[in-house]
């Protein structure tokens, strides 16, 4: 007798409004996921039961919607986009998340999964894409994870200091003040994952160095 695969999933939901945003009016979003992926979805509050061969894909879609619901109300097109992102052929073979002592980072999309896997497994990669897609944040997170697990002894984090045709000479202040706005995403990610005091100590000891790309020195050991 064939047994239907069942998966239990608990989402870290903050309030009833967020739960309603994810499930949709009259569970419309859940019905869309169930129909598109040929799964059954039932929930009691934040506890979900998923049944069907594509239950793991449905779970990823729900987790993506959870992450998205922190910043906006979920619409049906958000649900459809999340489903399209997770076609069975495009899923990475190995699921990767990033764990630091202060934060667990759920990797949202297949492109981000591939990006983080490549950072982990390859000596050099190039990540391109629009602002807000996690290029800097995930790279810093992976670097912090490597430092905390003693995979590396030192971090040199660099980022372009000139964007959109601007020149540093037109910005007021000394060199630090000129480049600080461009390096701020790196510092913000470091503070979130390590804490302000620890980041300052690691910077002081030169275990972490943050620099604009054009002014970064080359290192040999």
**Residue 197, pLDDT score:** 93
Radius of gyration of the chain (CA): 21
Give the predicted TM-score (pTM) of the model: 0.54
The pLDDT confidence band at residue 214, using thresholds 50, 70 and 90, is: low
The pLDDT confidence band at residue 1, using thresholds 50, 70 and 90, is: very low
How far apart are alpha carbons 108 and 4 in whole angstroms? 27
**Residue 29 confidence (pLDDT) above 60:** yes
**Residue 100, pLDDT score:** 83
**Residue 89 confidence (pLDDT) above 80:** no
Check residue 117 and report its DSSP letter: H
b/e sequence 49-63, b meaning 16+ C-beta within 10 Å: ebbbebbbbbbbbbb
Average pLDDT over residues 147-167: 76
How far apart are alpha carbons 57 and 54 in whole angstroms? 5
pLDDT digits (tens, 9 = 90+) for 162-192: 554 445 555 555 555 555 667 888 899 999 9
**Residue 198 confidence (pLDDT) above 90:** yes
Q: Of 58, 43, 62, 51, whose CA–CA distance to 7 is shortest? A: 51
Q: Regarding beta strands 47-51 and 40-44, do their DSSP bridges make them parallel or antiparallel, or are they unpaired?
A: antiparallel
Dihedral Cα 38, 44, 47, 49, nearest 10 deg: -30
How far apart are alpha carbons 74 and 81 in whole angstroms? 11
How far apart are alpha carbons 100 and 144 in whole angstroms? 7
Q: Regarding beta strands 6-10 and 155-159, do their DSSP bridges make them parallel or antiparallel, or are they unpaired?
A: unpaired
**Residue 207 confidence (pLDDT) above 90:** yes
The pLDDT confidence band at residue 135, using thresholds 50, 70 and 90, is: confident
Q: Of 153, 157, 143, whose CA–CA distance to 193 is shortest? A: 143
């Amino acid at each position: 007798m064939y047994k239907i695969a069942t998966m239990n999933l608990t989402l870290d939901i903050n309030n009833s409004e967020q739960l309603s945003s994810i499930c949709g009016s009259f569970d419309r979003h859940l019905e869309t996921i169930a129909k598109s992926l040929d799964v059954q979805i039932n929930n009691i509050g934040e506890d979900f039961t998923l049944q069907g061969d594509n239950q793991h894909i449905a779970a990823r879609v729900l987790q993506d919607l959870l992450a998205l619901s922190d910043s906006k109300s979920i619409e049906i097109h958000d649900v459809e986009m999340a489903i399209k992102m997770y076609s069975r052929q495009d899923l990475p073979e190995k699921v990767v998340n990033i764990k630091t002592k202060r934060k667990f980072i759920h990797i949202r999309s297949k492109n981000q999964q591939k990006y983080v896997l490549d950072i982990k497994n390859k000596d050099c990669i190039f990540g391109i894409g629009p602002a807000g897609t996690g290029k800097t944040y995930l790279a810093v997170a992976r670097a912090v994870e490597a430092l905390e697990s003693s995979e590396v002894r030192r971090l040199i984090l660099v980022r372009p200091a000139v964007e959109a045709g601007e020149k540093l000479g037109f910005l007021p202040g000394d060199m630090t003040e000129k480049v600080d706005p461009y390096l701020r995403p790196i510092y913000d990610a470091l503070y979130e994952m390590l804490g302000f005091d620890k980041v300052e100590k690691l910077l002081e000891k030169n275990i972490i160095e943050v620099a604009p790309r054009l002014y970064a020195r080359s290192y040999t050991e």
